[in-house]
Amino acid sequence: MDILVVHLFNALLYASVLFLIAGGLSLIYGVMRIVNLAHGNLFAVGAFTTASAVGVWFAGSTSALLFLLVPIGAVAAAAIGAVVEPTLLRRFYRRPEEYQLLVTFGLLMILEDVMRFLWGPYPISASVLFEKMGSLHVGDYIYPRYNLLVIATGVLAALFLWAFIYRTKFGVVLRATSQDMRRASALGVNVNLVYVEAFTIGCFMAGLGGAIIAPSQPAVLGMGVDALVLSFIVVVIGGLGSLEGALVGALIVGVIREIGISVFPEIELAVLYLIAAGVLFVRPAGLFGRTA
């Protein structure tokens, strides 16, 4: 019984991080209709920034300060988003999809090497926070408290996002722009501003995903590319452009992955991709997607 609780925590842990990445990806697609292949790299930027802030720049500070430093990764990713959208991506919204995919693919390659340049080829760890929080007992098992903090962050992020999009004026403007950009523009919405804000929020979420896991696993090069394909699975299952879909997709992937790791480790990834392909086959727009 206790082992089930541990597995459940792990699945939720996984789902929380995946929701943060895939939710950002989906939000950006929903508003701007662009699939950002560099999204995984923003997750990695978040992880690297937080890891080096906690583990290198301010190492040895009081733990309260270190905890306050965790979100710095999200801020860094958001800053990149706020710069990249108006300068680079905006030119591509009216161009065919192959160019949009290619320009974000180019961005992926550039960001990957920028990280190599800034942080070097070795993993950076911020495990001090993970260790400071200790662990709790789940029956006969022990479970790290930090992971519960990650789950809580994921839940809070989902709640905030929901409130933001469905309960604020900006959310109304955002949804209107997503549904019909021209009409929103005709009604006086500053569409360019909405775009840069939506992109920045999406990047912030990816960066937060990276920042929050930095203490529990070291930041390594290539983590962005791996994260991107997993968040693709999430958005494909849930439906591109849908935040509810990203949430449900992240939970499905989190649970299957947790089962897969213990029951069928060799084909765990293949099963995930096959499920994604199967969902696309039956419902091309995903479980919650609007039909294309």
Partner 1 sequence: MTSAPPASEKRSPLRIVPWAAAIAAVLAVLPWVIDPYQSILIAYGLVMAIAVLGFNLLLGYTGLLSFGHSAYFGVGAYAVAFMVKYLHVQSMELFIVGAIAASVLVTTLFGYVCVRYTRIFFSILTLALSQVLWSLAFKFFWVTGGTDGLRVPTPKLIGVATGEGEDKIRFLTHGYYYYVLVVFIVCVVVMWVVVHSPFGKALQAIRDNETRARFVGLRVRAYRFVAFLISGVFTGIAGALWVPLNGLTTPDILYWPFSGEIVFMAVLGGFRNFTGPIVGAVVFNYLKTYAVGYTVYWQALLGIVLVVLVMVLPTGIVGTARLLWAYAGRRFSR
- Residues at the site binding partner 1, with contacts judged by CB under 8 A: 35, 37, 88, 91-92, 95, 97-99, 101-103, 105-110, 112-114, 116-117, 225, 229, 232-233, 236, 240, 265-270, 273-274, 276-277, 280-281, 284-285, 292
Q: For partner 1, which is the closer residue by CB, 1 or 282?
A: 282
Q: For partner 1, which is the closer residue by CB, 146 or 232?
A: 232
Smallest gap, in angstroms, from Cβ of residue 137 to partner 1?
Answer: 34
Q: For partner 1, which is the closer residue by CB, 244 or 268?
A: 268
- C-alpha 182/C-alpha 189 separation (Å) is 9
Q: For partner 1, which is the closer residue by CB, 209 or 260?
A: 260
Smallest gap, in angstroms, from Cβ of residue 284 to partner 1?
Answer: 5
Smallest gap, in angstroms, from Cβ of residue 141 to partner 1?
Answer: 27
Smallest gap, in angstroms, from Cβ of residue 77 to partner 1?
Answer: 18
Q: For partner 1, which is the closer residue by CB, 51 or 276?
A: 276
Smallest gap, in angstroms, from Cβ of residue 219 to partner 1?
Answer: 18
